[in-house]
Structure 1
Amino acid sequence: MLKWAIIFAVIGLIAGALGFSGAAGAAMGIAKLLFWVGLVIAVVLFILGVTIAKKVT
């Protein structure tokens, strides 16, 4: 998921440099959303992994 966030961030930067402000804003918005969703999923999985590891051992 973070890979897609980086791809959309690059698209947004290129579109912004070329003057496509609407497309750049949309791509950067998608990049931000994907980054935060990926980060939340990673944190939730980390917490689940820590709690399950304590119960297994």
Structure 2
Amino acid sequence: VKSPKKITIRYREDVKQDMRILLQTGTDEAGEPIYRTFDVMDYNDIENKKKRLEVTCNEVGING
């Protein structure tokens, strides 16, 4: 069972629920980047200060 993940990012006004987050986790033997992919489900302005967003998302997959 996959559980939702929470990722904190800097504040952005253009974040929407149909977006994805790519998180580079390293590189493979050939030097190509390896990414984890997350679908954005919801987001929240932490403390309503327009400094950070807490994004709730589901992991879609890992390339590489």
Query: Is the TM-score greater than 0.5?
Result: no
Structure with greater contact order relative to length (CA < 8 Å, sep ≥ 6): 2
Q: TM-score scaled by structure 1?
A: 0.21
- Please give the TM-score of this superposition, normalised by the length of structure 2: 0.20
Higher Rg: 1
Q: Which has the higher helix share?
A: 1
